[in-house]
Amino acid sequence: MATKIYLVRHAKPDLSIHDDFLRPLSSQGLMERKKVTDFLMDKNISKVYSSPYKRAIDTIEHFVEQSQLSIQIIDDFRERKVSDRWIEDFNSFCRNQWSDFEYKLENGESLSEVQKRNIQVLKLLIKKDDGDNIIIGSHGTAISTVLHYFDNRFNYGDFARIKDIMPFVVCLTFNGDVLNSMDEYVFE
């Protein structure tokens, strides 16, 4: 029996809040999360996990309330730490990281570090929840590093393509620990 993992990138956040951990969804994001709920309702979801970041939780919380499930927070699904300071030229920073997976700013994380922690916990869930359909509330960069792990052709161009798509869902289908398919879903 296949395991389906729905990686859910959060809806639009309120960028006026610079605290990455506490940044909520914008009013538009709060409305958009209903599209995620509608999409997931018929997917026979049995477990829901999330990054501890507020915007990731808020995006899947509406589904959780409708389905009467609960969210298990997993710290390793958090978004990368960029730095202790706000980055004005975020696009240049991202290009640097995608050209060198070890590149990072002071007190920040490299894409290699983000990928390693995400993949470690993802592999544990694939074994633990074998045959289940699960949701993981996450972030654009975290999801991108997972996609890159399973298909190293996923690169900066792909990241740039999805960078502004919020919410966004990727369904990974596994038989055992072997990935069979990756399907993207964008909501209009």
Q: Is the pLDDT of residue 184 over 90?
A: yes
Task: Give the separation between CA 72 and CA 26, rounded to whole angstroms.
Answer: 23
Reported confidence tier of residue 155, pLDDT bands at 50, 70, 90? very high
Token pair in block for residue 150: 């399973």
Give mean pLDDT, residues 13-29.
90
What are the C-alpha distances in Å from 68 to residues 48, 65, 123, 125, 129?
Answer: 11, 5, 26, 21, 19
Asked if residue 33 is part of any domain, the answer here is yes
Can you give the CATH number for the domain in which 55 is found? 3.40.50.1240
Q: What residues make up the domain containing 14? A: 10-186
pLDDT at 177 (0 to 100): 86
Reported confidence tier of residue 174, pLDDT bands at 50, 70, 90? very high
How many folded domains does the chain comprise? 1
Q: What is the pLDDT of residues 100-148, one digit of tens each?
A: 999 999 999 999 999 999 999 999 999 999 999 999 999 999 999 999 9
The three-point CA angle 19-123-178 to 5° equals 130
